């Protein structure tokens, strides 16, 4: 039964992403990236509802009050990365338009990647770290000046449940150079949606939002340590069974 429910969810997801991505591609000449982003948000919210309907996976928010209400406040979101779940929950949940930093290979995914390319986000070549740093820094300044928030997964890739991978410094470096505060985020999605696993088990995934971390008066190393300490500490709270050993 779990296999069938998971299959139906994926069938729904693949079908709707083709439809919505095709619509985004068709309206490129007539719309702004912000309008096309909202079309993508519609798909993300639809997918969230489908996940609950087909697989019984719901969302619990912790720390909602930590999201700044100031419409002029710029932020860089640094979050734990365990599964594909957070890639569509972030746009569905956060109140501001997000600009993700992602590997450029995603642009070559039929339909999804083509639509993603039209949203003017930051794609990097992970094989060339120096150029990747330049892209994040240069394009990040432009994105923040446009009033968008930037979302970065500092581990660089999805990590197995209960594991730790040293955080990359790109997010902290951008925060320091632009004097933009950081919103740290933890989520225990791998407890229900493990990497490279087809079957989805019903349950509740917790999205935990930490207090805004100020960059004022801090070095890159100090900021990096503060972000890493909060996220990894919070993971041991929202997914304690994964850290018992």
Backbone angles phi, psi at 148, to 5 degrees: -90, 160
pTM equals: 0.92
Sign of the alpha-carbon torsion through 70, 76, 78, 83: positive
Range of 138's domain?
2-243
Judge contact between 140 and 173, C-beta under 8 A: no
CATH of the domain at 42: 3.40.1130.10
**pLDDT by residue (tens digit) across 181-193?**
999 999 999 998 8
pLDDT score for 127? 62
The residue-averaged pLDDT of 150-170 equals: 88
Judge contact between 210 and 234, C-beta under 8 A: yes
Which burial class, exposed, middle or buried, applies to 81 when counting CB atoms under 10 A from its CB (0-12, 13-18, 19+)? buried
pLDDT score for 195? 77
Which secondary structure element, helix H or strand E, spans residue 26, and what is its range? Answer: helix 2-26
Question: Is 38 in a helix, a strand, or coil?
Answer: helix
**pLDDT by residue (tens digit) across 35-69?**
999 999 999 999 999 999 999 999 999 999 999 98
Number of structural domains found in the chain: 1
């Amino acid at each position: 039964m779990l296999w069938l429910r998971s299959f139906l969810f994926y069938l729904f997801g693949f079908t709707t992403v083709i439809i919505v991505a095709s619509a985004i591609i068709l309206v490129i000449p007539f719309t702004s990236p912000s309008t096309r982003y909202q079309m993508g948000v519609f798909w993300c919210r639809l997918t969230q509802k489908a996940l609950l309907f087909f697989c019984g996976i719901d969302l619990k928010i912790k720390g909602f009050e930590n999201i700044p209400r100031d419409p002029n406040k710029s932020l860089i979101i640094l979050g734990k990365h365990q599964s594909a779940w957070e890639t569509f929950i972030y746009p569905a949940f956060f109140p501001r338009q997000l600009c993700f930093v992602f590997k450029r290979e995603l642009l070559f995914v039929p339909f999804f990647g083509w639509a993603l390319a039209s949203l003017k986000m930051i794609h990097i070549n992970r094989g060339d770290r120096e150029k990747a740093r330049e892209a994040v820094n240069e394009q990040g300044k432009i994105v923040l000046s446009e009033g968008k928030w930037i979302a970065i997964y500092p581990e660089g890739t999805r990590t197995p449940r209960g594991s730790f991978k040293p955080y990359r410094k790109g997010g902290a470096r951008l925060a320091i150079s632009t004097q933009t505060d950081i919103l740290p985020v933890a989520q225990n999605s791998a407890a229900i949606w493990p990497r490279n696993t087809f079957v989805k088990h019903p349950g509740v995934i917790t999205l935990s939002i930490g207090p805004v971390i100020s960059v004022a008066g801090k070095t890159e190393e100090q900021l990096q340590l503060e972000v890493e300490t909060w996220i990894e500490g919070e993971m041991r709270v929202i997914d304690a069974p994964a850290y018992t050993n």
